[in-house]
Chain A
Amino acid sequence: MQEAQAAAASTSSTLGQPTAAAIGFFLLFVAITLAITWWAARRTRSAREFYAAGRSISPLQNGLALAGDYMSAASFLGIAGLVALKGYDGMIYATGWLVGWPALLFLVAEPLRNLGKYTFADVVAFRLRQAPVRIAAAIGGILTVLFYTIAQMVGSGNLVKLMFGIPYEWAVAIVGSVMLLYVLFGGMIATTWVQITKAVLLLFGVTVLTAMVLARFAWSPGAIYAAVADGYGQAALEPGGLVTSPLDAVSLGLALMLGLLGLPHILMRFYTVPDARAARKSVLYATGFIGYFYVIIPIVGFGAAALVGREVIGGIDKGGNMAAPLLAEKLGGEVFLGFIAAVAFATILAVVAGLTLAGASALSHDVYVHVWKGGRADEREQMRVARWATVVFGVLAVLLGIVFKGQNVAFMVGLAFAIACSANFPALLLSIVWRRFTTRGAVASILTGAVLTVVLIVLSPTVWVDLLKNETAPFPLRNPAIVSMTAAIVVGIVVSLLGREERAEAMFEDEKLRTYLGVGAE
């Protein structure tokens, strides 16, 4: 922290000191979102309201909430920083974060909405044997959410420390407790509106920042690129070292694209809209908002390189995470910096709230209600267990955030996407499209995907060389998705072909009316 403050002081930035503006905006955001939570709490009486906001969210609202659920601090601060420090490579990376959305719509969104109730495991287990499939799907889902949460919590501790100057443990504890209040009392209704508020603030903040940069350069992106090339050479506008081996690049691309189709906290949002038509429209809105965000965020990054300078950005944080806040201060002064800092905090809160709700629903709806109680639990018991699971998951998130303090956890986001795309996505897709898919096939596919992903990432250069400091890695790819996802699909198909499950095959025909027409959907 002292380093950060010293660096900030040397560049006459108020970054790292809790300014009145930053604290004011942050408290305003917390006050508004807690008021929303209070309002939502009075509308959260049933499991349907707690997990799915009573299925009353409109397509536009859900589109914004999906954007708020998805655009993390890593995409806002991280990609702006990557573009500022590495130039064009940051733009290549940004494209990967959007391309999953169309695939999500083409392959799973509508059938998912028609077949499920609260979780993606509802769909996988629809016509298979409940207990084994639910347990396997909960393992895949919880691993995904857990690794994603650790990355978010550690990132939030570091960012809040950098921006507000408060100690790491405090930052993690504040994020954890505020988020827990949202989810515990307001469930999905509060989470949705926190995500909508955050998405609007983030899109507004980045739009203003982009406009300020463009105004400095006579509204010409070309002039910004010229300033960047002038300072850091033409190489800043050319592909650099990010993408070298085609296989590595495609494997990471697969994880980013198809991993989205297996992220429990994103899939869960489709149950908040009334029907499959609304689910479809909400993806179009979400893709529009998120696409717009990734198109303009590189301008912020290049603007930061040109106006703030790489030395200053890299001096405060090696990863470049402070590029956007520093640029905000340069162009809009202390007050605008305070606003952007509060937006970054809001961003983290909204994402972690969505993750906690997804983790809690896997524990309570999938494991407790459907496996432990055999699907027989009344409304009151479901709500009680859902809230306990929320507390368990929230406390776990804070503890893990503190345990992993100072660790390099950037790889955990890639790991979460790789597990989502290898363990959750193949089983989800096969259960929707393939009549012969069996209980054994589903369980084998999910477990193969989850175990193989974790083992391969440990043996990959990402962990084996970068973290464990070995010379070379036994497994060559930095992200294992291309191998682990393929293996999960092959195992799912082969094991299913080895034995028939007549009840599941018969139900496949019957469920078609529900899958494609929405007849009998929740």
Chain B
Amino acid sequence: MSDGPGIDARKVLDSADFRRLVTRRWTISLLLTAALFLAYYGFILLVALDKELLARKIGAVTTLGIPLAVAVIVVAWALTAIYVAWANRGYDRAVDRLKRELGS
């Protein structure tokens, strides 16, 4: 475990390509996490602070709150899908390229 990385590994770790990959991964993760927080805690704070808005009727009896609650769930799933779509293409391609440089 503590053998330390070989020469190839050192080269990959220090490469701009690898550093860019790690930075990009966390930038995207944190942006999506921020969007998730905005959607969910925004909804919760709306419930806590502005009940009248959620109680507003948008149909005969249907209130605005009902589609908003469903929207929180749909948005959460969509954010997941965005991450997976990005990672399946961009991230995995970079991983394969870097692994080839490692010769593994």
Contacts and interface: CB of A to CB of B under 8 A. Distances in A.
Given A516-B22, A516-B95, 12 more contacts: A92-B65, A99-B40, A99-B76, A102-B36, A103-B33, A226-B60, A238-B51, A244-B48, A249-B47, A253-B41, A277-B88, A284-B84
Contacts of A516: 18, 21-22, 25, 95
Interface string A38-54: 00000000000000000
Interface of B: 1-2, 4-5, 9, 12-13, 18, 21-22, 25-26, 29-30, 32-33, 36, 39-41, 43-45, 47-49, 51, 54-55, 59-63, 65-66, 69-70, 72-74, 76-77, 79-81, 83-84, 87-88, 92, 95, 98-99, 102, 104
Contact of A99 (B9, B29, B36, B102): B36
11 contacts: A102-B77, A102-B80, A106-B29, A107-B29, A222-B61, A238-B54, A243-B47, A249-B47, A250-B45, A280-B84, A516-B21
B76 A102 contact: yes
A238 B81 CA distance: 31
Contact of A246 (B22, B45, B81): B45
A99 B40 CA distance: 7
Given A91-B66, A287-B77, A239 B44 contact: no
Interface string A274-289: 0001001101100110
- Main secondary structure on B side of the interface with A: helix
B60 A243 contact: no
Nearest to A509: B13
Contacts of B43: 95
Contact of B55 (A95, A225, A238, A284): A238
Interface in A487-503: 503
A237 interface: yes
A244 B47 CA distance: 8
A6 B73 CA distance: 39
A225 B65 CA distance: 12
A222 B76 contact: no
B98 A517 contact: yes
A280 B87 contact: yes
Contacts of A509: 5, 13
A381 interface: no
Contacts of A245: 48
A88 interface: yes
A185 to B, nearest CB: 33
A491 B72 CA distance: 33
A295 B65 contact: no
Contact of A102 (B13, B32, B44, B60): B32
Nearest to B98: A517
A78 B99 CA distance: 48
